[in-house]
Structure 1
Amino acid sequence: MDNISQIDDLSLLHVIQLGSAAFPSGGYSYSQGLEWAVHFGLVNSISTFACWQEQVVQEQLTYLDWPILKRMYFCIKSNDQRQLLYYIEALLMFRTTCELRLEEKERGYALMQMFFKCSLIEFNDCWFTLCKNSMLSAIAWLGNKWEIPLKMLVMCYGYIVVEGLITAGLKLVPFGQCSAQKLLMAAFKWFSIAWRHADLLTDEELGGSFPLQSIASSCHEEQKFRLFRS
């Protein structure tokens, strides 16, 4: 029992580490189109930001990020490199703008480089070569390395996405820390239901639809004055 408890404790600590603001996932550099939406008045209040956040959870997380993270997690667990490559390419295809694809690649590469420097993986490891192309696959690889149960990893990734969005909102909308915590707690209420739905999706059902984010991200590529890279 002590060994099982120790493994559970370590998994929990690794989840906290992964979700920490100090973990260098690079989320602070990106707004995923929010900056343009704020600049042009489409998101201009806490209520309009909450609608944007809800779309991120209901579409991006539920129909794309979470189900593909699940598939990547099991590809790595079963040592299926070919299928992992398939899902990396599918994910990049679903990232609908140049900025969103570049963000996915840059954050994946940065994470795998950090894992290498922390002696978690060798530079010439086949998983390094694959997972450096996608942040989501890097998270899936780390979840396997640290023996984090899938649901804990999924919830942690959802937290990373929503916290990054709220951090951008704090600077852009703006709103205060109390409002930020309320928005975070509101997102948490959707997580369990959204994950139950995401967990049942087939490959044919993958692909979140958030057209406004795609438009905002495309326009952001040509925005002259900006704080964020996406």
Structure 2
Amino acid sequence: MNIMTNEERLCSPLCFLRLLSWLSPNFPNGAYSYSHGLEWAAEAGHVYDRSSLVDWLEADLCYGSGRNEAVFFTEAYRCAINDDRANLMRVAEVAGASRGTPEFALESSQQATACLNTLRKVWPDPILDFFGEIQVQPVLAVVLGARTAVEGIPAGVALPAFLHSYVANLVIAGVRLIPLGQTDGQLAIAELEHAVLSASAQGACATLDNLGSAGFMVELASIAHETQYTRLFRS
């Protein structure tokens, strides 16, 4: 008889297929319509080629909002594993209140709401009903952190995959805005691999007490984008 170990169960092909679906560009959460301030950065000339795009996104990932999203994902994952709904609500509240601008608040709540609705219809789980019951705007990192935990996807796989999806979506925006060729876009994603792994390693050891950002330029870019005359993206 072939008996699977706990680790093998955690790493089952079905889990990985679901993770791929939830983080796919085809997943209907509207991520393609947001640039996280990148559109203004390109308009202002701060991001103008592959190198400057990688620099901008690496800074955001390791020192800005991407870093905090890793913390929220990790904390939600821990709460779901421990079935700690009280702390999960606290994480959801802090994450919802952490959006620095109206555009970032819209970007966060719209994607998370769409993600939550689709997950509840296609891959239902009681943890998703919890987010529907609390009076807090959902945040994508919290929803996916909790859902991947109850799915049994290892945190060491789920968090880097989430951050990779986060940054890859912004690279796609950069390809359209600068513009860049598709090959340059893939080169940018490859150059950001170490930043993704570094941010994941830091996020895996972090708690809400470690929240903080030095990515002020991203916040300023979002504020400026609100009044930008010509826009392709909603943030």
TM-score, normalization: structure 2?
0.88
Aligned residues, how many?
A: 230
138-147 or 57-66, larger mean C-alpha shift: 57-66
Render the CA deviation track for 1:78-133: whole Å, top value 9, x for unaligned. 22222122222222333211111121111111111112222514799323334862
Q: CA deviation at 1:196?
A: 2.1
Unaligned ranges ≥5, structure 1:
none
Q: Which amino acid aligns with 1:208?
A: S
8 Å CA contact 2:70–2:141 kept in 1: the answer is no
1:16-95 equivalent positions in 2, closer than 5 A: 16-60=20-64, 63-95=67-99
Cα deviations by residue, 1:158-195 (Å, 9 ceiling, x for unpaired): 11111110010011011111111111111112233332
1:150 paired residue number: 155
Any residues of structure 2 matched to 1:132-171 within 5 Å, and which? Answer: 133-171=138-176
* Contact 2:131-2:138 at 8 Å conserved across structures: no
> Which aligned runs of 4 or more in structure 1 are off by greater than 6 angstroms?
none
Q: Distance in 2 between matches of 1:165 and 1:94?
A: 20
Cα 1:121–1:205 shift into 2, 3 Å:
closer
CA distance change for structure 1 residues 58 and 125 in 2, over 3 Å: closer, same or farther?
A: closer
In structure 2, the CA distance between the partners of 1:124 and 1:207, relative to structure 1 (3 Å rule), is closer
Which of 207, 219, 228 is the matching residue for 2:212?
207
Q: Out of 39-48 and 59-68, give the one that drifted further.
A: 59-68
Residue 6 of structure 1 deviates from its aligned partner by: 6.0
Which of the numbers 90, 100, 103 marks the counterpart of 2:104?
Answer: 100
Contact 2:66 2:163 in 1 (8 A): no
CA RMSD of aligned residues (A): 2.3
Q: Give the whole-Å Cα distance in 1 for the aligned partners of 2:187 and 2:68.
A: 25
User: 2:101·2:222 contact (CA, 8 Å) conserved in 1?
Assistant: yes
Matching of residue 228 in structure 1 with residue 233 in structure 2? yes
Evaluate the alpha carbon distance shift between residue 125 and residue 47 of structure 1 in structure 2; reply closer, same or farther with a 3 A threshold.
closer
Q: Which amino acid counterpart does residue 166 of structure 2 have in structure 1?
A: V
Residues 1:197 and 1:150: Cα distance change in structure 2 (over 3 Å): same
* Change over 3 Å in CA distance of 1:27–1:70 after alignment to 2: same
Deviates more, 1:65-74 or 1:3-12: 3-12
- The reply to whether residue 183 of structure 1 matches residue 188 of structure 2 is yes
Is 2:128–2:147's contact at 8 Å kept on the other side of the alignment? no
Deviation at 1:157, TM superposition (A): 0.6
What does residue 18 of structure 2 align with? 14
